[in-house]
Amino acid sequence: MAECMQHLSITAQAFFPVWTKACASKDHNFGKPYRFWWRWFLAGINDPSMMRSRTPAAFVPNAALHLESVLESYFKERDTVEQLAKEMYIGDIGGFQIASPFAAWMKYPLDFSFDLWIAHERRHLAQAEKG
């Protein structure tokens, strides 16, 4: 469970610089429907049985950490994700395109990146629950 939670923290930390830069932008174009392949990708990330991939080395958690310390960090980062999502929504900057912090060749809308993070979170919380 600690590994899953730490992986989510590492993922949030990778997104923070991208989200912070985008939230400072004045690019407007919020709320366009996602293209078919982005909806398919979200469904795959959300459901571990649909899509499997190896975790890049930079996102592999430290197995020696204790759950209590990992949870404290995760909840702080989760609050930051929520705050940045609110800033994005209030600022109407969803059309801003970002490069994925995991695969620089992959670019997607800012609002999609938050949905992707949530789907990824759901995936790993379900995994942590299974033990």
Q: How far apart are the first and last CA of the chain?
A: 6
- Residue 57 and residue 70: Cα distance in Å, rounded? 19
pTM for this one? 0.76
Q: Is the pLDDT of residue 98 over 60?
A: yes
Instruction: Considering only residues 109 and 14, tell me which one the structure prediction assigns the higher pLDDT.
Output: 14
Whether residue 57 is contained in a domain is answered as: no
pLDDT, one tens digit per residue, over 25-72 is 765 455 677 888 888 888 888 876 665 666 655 555 666 667 788 888
Q: What is the DSSP string of 67-99?
A: HHHHHHHHHHHHHHHHHHHHHHHHHT-TT-EEE
Whether residue 56 is contained in a domain is answered as: no
Whether residue 82 is contained in a domain is answered as: yes
At 45, give phi and psi (nearest 5°): -70, -40
Whether residue 89 is contained in a domain is answered as: yes
Tell me the residue range of the domain where 38 lies: 2-51+65-130
CB 117 within 8 A of CB 81: yes
Report how many domains make up the chain. 1
At 109, give phi and psi (nearest 5°): -65, 150
Work out the angle at residue 122's Cα, subtended by the Cα atoms of residues 120 and 125, and round it to the nearest 5 degrees: 110
Whether residue 96 is contained in a domain is answered as: yes
Instruction: Give the HSE-up count for residue 13: Cα atoms under 13 Å, Cβ half-sphere.
Output: 13
**Confidence (pLDDT) at 85:** 83
Whether residue 101 is contained in a domain is answered as: yes
**Confidence (pLDDT) at 79:** 94
Whether residue 59 is contained in a domain is answered as: no
Q: Which residue stretches of the chain are H helix?
A: 2-24, 36-46, 67-91, 110-130
Whether residue 45 is contained in a domain is answered as: yes
